[in-house]
Amino acid sequence: MKVRIKDLVANPFRDIKNYSIDLKKVESLAKSITETGFWDNILARKRDSRIEIAYGHHRLQAMKQVFKPEDMVNIPVRILDDAMMIKIMANENDEQWAITPGIVHETVRVTKEFLFSSRGLNFIKTKNPKAKVDFFHSKEAFQIAEFLGGNWNEYRVALALRRLDSFEKGELDKEAVESLPTEQVARDFTAAVKMVKPSKKVQRIVAEKIVKSRAKESTEEGIIHGRYRIETELFSAEHEDEEKVRKAKAKADREVRRLQFEKALTRVTAKIVSLDEELEMLLEYQDYLVSDHYQKSKKGQNFTLAMADLFNTFQILMSPKKTVDLVESFKLLVSEKEKE
C-alpha cells in the first residue's frame, strides 16, 4: 500500500520518551537508503487517517531524513490487533540490534499495563501458572513472558519487573540504569546498588563511568564490569575518604557475614532435626548397639567415633562453659520426662 511519509506514525504502545531512538542506527539506515534505495522493512496497520507502524521505527526516522513529508512509499499494511502490535514491538530489532535496559523496561511496563487491563485479560494463556520455587519468578513474569514469546523468557521479564519496582520505591535510579549499555550490566549494577545502597547522584556518576569505560576499551562492557567491580566503584564514589570507605565496606561485610551465618544455621538445624529423627529410630535397637559384639565391630566403632566427633565439635562451637550449661539443661529435661 502506498502511503505518504507524513501519515506514518509510531506504534501507539511505544512511548518514544522512554523507548528512545538510537541516532547512530538512524544515521546508518539513512545512509543505506540513500545508497541502495528504500526497502520496506516496516509493517503497519490503518487507524482512521493514520498509518500506525508495528515495527521499523528507526527506518521511519531515517526515511524522514531522506524523503519529504509528501513523498509516497510502498509498505505492507495488515490487520493487527493491539496484542499483536505489542508483541511485534517487543521483538523489534531484538536480534539485529542490542536491546538496551531502557527498551526492556518500557516493553515489560507496557505489556504488563495492557495484559492486566480489561483489554488484555483475554490474551492471558495460562490463568493460574504453577508456583515457582525460584525467588525471581512470579505469576506476572510468567504470564508476560508467555504472552510476548521469543527471547522474552521468564527470567528476563522477572528481573525487569524487579528493577521497575525499585524505580518506583526510589531505591534505584532509572536514568542511571537505562544509560547502561546492556542488560547484563544493568543486572550487575542493580545487584551492586542493592548491596551498597548509594545515593541516586552516585549511581549516575558510576553509570557514566561504566559507559565511558566501555567506549574507551571498545568492548561490550568496558573495563568496569561485573557486580563486585561495580560495588567497589559505588563504595568509592559514595564514601570519598579512605576511612569512610573502610568503615562502610566493613559494615557491608558484616551484613553479608550475618546473612551467610543465618542461612548456614537454618541449613544445619534442618540437618540436625533430620539426624535426631534417625537416631530415635535406633532406640528400638539399643540392645544391639550397646552389646560387646557390636561395639567391637567396625560399624559400631565408626558410629561411636562419628558421634564423639560431633559432640566434640559442638563443644568447641559453643565454648566449654556454654556447652556444659546446655548439657546440664538437657539432662534435667530428660530427667523430668522420665518422671512423667
Residue 47 three-state SS: strand
Greatest CA separation for the chain: 104
User: In this structure, are residues 56 and 65 in contact, taking their beta carbons and an 8 Å threshold?
Assistant: no
Residue 133's pLDDT is what? 46
Q: Which residues pair with 3 in a beta bridge?
A: 73
Distance of CA 199 to the CA centre of its chain: 21
User: In this structure, are residues 163 and 177 in contact, taking their beta carbons and an 8 Å threshold?
Assistant: yes
- Gap between the Cα atoms of 196 and 228, Å rounded: 11
Residue 55's nearest CA partner among 40, 73, 72, 71 is: 40
Cell of 303: 558410629
Residue-wise burial string across 178-199, b where 16 or more C-beta atoms lie within 10 A, e elsewhere: bbbbbbebbbbbbebbebbebe
Residue-wise burial string across 43-66, b where 16 or more C-beta atoms lie within 10 A, e elsewhere: bbbeeeeebbbbbbbbbbbbbbeb
| Backbone region of residue 3 per phi and psi (left: phi > 0; alpha: psi in -120 to 50; beta: other values) | beta
The number of beta carbons lying within 10 Å of the beta carbon of residue 253 is 10
User: In this structure, are residues 84 and 54 in contact, taking their beta carbons and an 8 Å threshold?
Assistant: yes
Residue 162's pLDDT is what? 93
- Gap between the Cα atoms of 1 and 59, Å rounded: 17
How confident is the prediction along the chain (340 residues), in pLDDT tens digits per residue? 888 889 898 888 887 666 667 788 888 888 888 888 766 678 899 988 789 998 888 888 888 888 898 988 888 899 999 999 988 888 765 544 568 898 899 999 999 999 888 887 777 777 666 655 454 557 889 889 989 887 888 889 999 999 999 999 999 999 999 999 889 999 999 999 999 999 999 999 999 999 988 877 666 556 787 888 999 899 888 887 667 777 888 888 888 899 899 999 999 999 989 998 888 888 888 888 888 888 889 888 888 888 888 888 887 777 766 556 666 666 676 666 566 5
Q: Which residue has the cell 502506498?
A: 2
pTM for the predicted model, two decimal places: 0.62
Fill in the DSSP letter of residue 6.
Answer: G
